[in-house]
Amino acid sequence: MCLGVPMKVVELDPPVGELGGLRCKINLSLLDSVSVGDYVIVHAGYAIERLDEKVARKTLQFMSTLSSPTPDTTGFKP
Amino acid sequence: MRYMTEFRDKELARGMAQRISSLLNGRYYTIMEVCGTHTMNIFRYGLKEILPANLRLLSGPGCPVCVTPTSYIDQAITLAHVPGVIICTFGDMLKVPGSITGDTANSLERLVLGNVKVVYSTADALSMAEANPDKKVVFLGVGFETTAPTIAASVLEADRKGLGNYFVLCAHKTMPQVMRSLVEDVGARRAVPLQGFICPAHVSTIIGSRPYEFLAGEFGIPCVIAGFEPLDILHGIHLLLGQIVRGEARVEIQYSRVARPEGNPRAQAVIKEVFEPCDAEWRGIGVVPMSGLGLRSRYRRFDAALHFSVPAPKTREPKGCLCGDMLRGVKTPPDCPLFGGTCTPSHPVGPCMVSSEGTCAAWFKYQGENK
């Protein structure tokens, strides 16, 4: 029940989010100053938080490192 | 980038599982994923099949439908029979059997064509109240901190609009308090033996990491807030085992692209404006002090239980059902004599089989293996 999906904000008045070509009305009242182009996590019609794209890319990059058989750079070894 | 499918890469998942395996180095550990969405995704993406057998994953009490007491379902069914009432609910609640016997339907599903409506958001319920001024719309307020601000926001909007026909039947619950009840000995009930917690993604997005700090500080249990995608879960497990192996205990955030230590202050303020903490009954667990959210006095007029004064019947659990132990992670579905026989997703006996996020439903659907 706590599922939330990342949507890109494509319109603000009224707020509309987009995911994979699908658009739906979203409520932004739980967030401060959202701009068009921002990614937000939408749960039950409400955007509950922003998604930081830079951090997302860093996390993915780190996951690749973690997945590779060469030693990782996390500072701890198995 | 969709920030979703990228976190489902099979090859990366296999590599990460191998890394987890070498980190374990043959040792046995038990960790708990508290949230039902984690449980469901662990099964859906086959993570147990690629994770080493010496890592035991327990499912916790984080499935809102599962922990909602039968008495609440009975209240909702009773309300659905009151003339002029429209019940609005998230779809997950429909199939949960209540304990009312006789001629009345014993789940909300049978009443769907009548005055029980499935909605996606509280906004839909509000619109329904506005469109039907001669009816009384009751929203079934079930869920954790993720859902609570959306329900609180609907109450505030109904207040602003002066809607006199919108009500909430409140059964919201909060996670940190029930997590305490799992790691503490309560009377004869012993603490669940576990070495770490995978904390929920979106509950934590709202409340932040601080409310879990007592688990690390007071109980020495490491915690990691992990996203719901399969790579997030594996990354979270790796971080958690890292802490366990090094003998550390703190609250880490794996889901840092969304969740922050302070959470979402605006959502917290909305919850705090409308709700206050109260004791709450968790199905199978019992009453956990201050683990629920009730409407504050200035919003009591939106309280369906007060407005309609529906009695909360005493909860009667189905005979032989082990959902209570399942929700505390001390039993797994194959331990239950009803599992897969009398109790299946099409004829669920207990709540863990009803909700798609329930441990039993996930085991049944994905041919639950024996870890």
Q: What is the pLDDT of residues B309-342, one digit of tens each?
A: 887 777 677 888 898 888 888 899 999 999 999 9
Residue A78 in any domain: the answer is no
Residue A59 in any domain: the answer is yes
- Which residue has tokens 């996951």? A63
Is B200 part of the contact surface with chain A (CB cutoff 8 Å)? yes
B120 chain-A contacts, CB cut-off 8 A: 44-45
B226 shares its domain with B354: no
* Nearest CA-CA partner of B137 in B74, B172, B86: B86
Full domain range(s) for residue B217 = 1-320
Residue A75 in any domain: the answer is no
Give the start-end residues of each E strand in chain B.
29-35, 55-62, 85-89, 116-118, 136-143, 166-173, 196-199, 223-225, 251-253, 275-282, 286-295
Radius of gyration of chain A (CA): 16
Q: Compute the mean pLDDT over every residue in chain A, rounded to the nearest whole number.
A: 89
Full domain range(s) for residue A47 = 5-67
CATH number at B140 reads 3.40.50.11740
Query: How many other C-beta atoms can be found within 10 angstroms of the C-beta atom of residue B290?
Result: 14
Q: Which residue in A44, A48, A60 is closest to B6 by CB distance?
A: A60
Residue A31 in any domain: the answer is yes
- Which residue has tokens 């001024």? B133
pLDDT exceeds cutoff 80 at B117:
yes
- Say whether B169 sits in a helix, a strand or coil: strand
B330 shares its domain with B295: no
CATH number at A27 reads 2.30.30.140
pLDDT of residue B130: 97
pLDDT exceeds cutoff 50 at A76:
no
pLDDT band at B98 (very low <50, low <70, confident <90, very high): confident
B302 shares its domain with B335: no
| Binary contact (B25, A78; C-beta < 8 A) | yes
pLDDT band at A78 (very low <50, low <70, confident <90, very high): very low
Distance from CA of A56 to the nearest CA of B (A): 5
B192 shares its domain with B338: no
Residue B302 in any domain: the answer is yes
pLDDT exceeds cutoff 60 at A26:
yes
State the average pLDDT over residues B263-268: 98
A28 chain-B contacts, CB cut-off 8 A: none
A31 → chain B, closest CA residue? B266
Number of domains in chain B: 2
Residue A43 in any domain: the answer is yes
B97 shares its domain with B135: yes
pLDDT exceeds cutoff 70 at B112:
no
pLDDT band at B370 (very low <50, low <70, confident <90, very high): very low
pLDDT of residue B233: 98
pLDDT of residue B225: 98
Q: What percentage of chain B carries pLDDT values higher than 70?
A: 95
pTM reported for the whole predicted model? 0.93
Q: Compute the mean pLDDT over every residue in chain B, rounded to the nearest whole number.
A: 91
* Per-residue model confidence as pLDDT tens digits over B49-95: 999 999 999 999 999 988 998 889 889 988 998 999 999 999 888 87
B295 shares its domain with B312: yes
Distance from CA of B188 to the nearest CA of A (A): 32
Is B210:B261 a contact under the CB 8 Å cutoff?
A: yes
Residue B370 in any domain: the answer is no
B123 → chain A, closest CA residue? A45
Residue B371 in any domain: the answer is no
Name the B residues in 142-171 with CB < 8 Å from any A CB: 142-144, 146-147, 149-150, 153
State the average pLDDT over residues B40-55: 95
B137 shares its domain with B239: yes
B228 shares its domain with B79: yes
Report CA dihedral (B285, B286, B292, B295) to the nearest 10 degrees. Answer: 140
The contact set of A with B (CB < 8 A) is 1-6, 19-20, 25, 27, 29-32, 39, 41, 43-46, 48-53, 55-57, 59-60, 62-64, 66-69, 72, 74, 76, 78
Residue B310 in any domain: the answer is yes
B232 shares its domain with B284: yes
pLDDT of residue B356: 82
* Per-residue model confidence as pLDDT tens digits over B276-288: 999 999 988 889 9
State the average pLDDT over residues B22-48: 95
B244 shares its domain with B339: no
Number of domains in chain A: 1
SS3 content of chain A, % helix, strand, coil (to 5): 20, 35, 45
Is A27:B196 a contact under the CB 8 Å cutoff?
A: no
Residue A28 in any domain: the answer is yes
Residue B74 in any domain: the answer is yes
Residue A21 in any domain: the answer is yes
A5 chain-B contacts, CB cut-off 8 A: 4
pLDDT band at B137 (very low <50, low <70, confident <90, very high): very high
| Residue B308 CA: distances (Å) to CA of B25, B115, B152, B278 | 59, 16, 20, 20
B349 shares its domain with B301: no
B257 shares its domain with B336: no
Residue B126 in any domain: the answer is yes
Q: Which helix (H) or strand (E) holds A6?
A: strand A5-12
